[in-house]
Structure 1
């Protein structure tokens, strides 16, 4: 029961929902790209990424100095159940659409090249 509570608590923040919406559309994003799209300080984005990773939503990989995040391919059953719900509702929000537009217009990878 505690693991389910952690999963739901991890969704109780607009920034974390925005991150998940972006990563559900993109296979992988660098922290610097997320900072640029979300227009938030790196420390804030990193804190939310850490919480999402610790709750099982995300995995990361290090490439030199940069860390890239993606949706965990081994999600818990409750998370697997929630993914279509997130895709349907979160990505249809105007905020998520604005984030995806910023991502599309971003010169991606320039900060971590």
Structure 2
């Protein structure tokens, strides 16, 4: 019985410095909801048609960053752990952009 009380106390002290408060999570959720509403709204604004895809990509990247930083707790991890995640993510993003450019070039050459 005493070990259970000790484990609970240790768990509570472990959570405090490494995680955000409930209010922070609520704020992040509200921001994510607002950005999602903006994403839906941007599609219906006609004069944004030429830049709608880059705009949506930027908003999606912002939402991805918020989710990773707060809900996956990467913000509170040591820098080397974050580098293990962010390094390959940057490489994968650059490869994706290169693939998009390649396909666009091929479609322009061979319609």
TM-score for both structures, normalised by structure 1: 0.30
Structure with greater strand share of residues: 1
Structure with greater helix share of residues: 2
Higher relative contact order (CA 8 A, sep 6+): 1
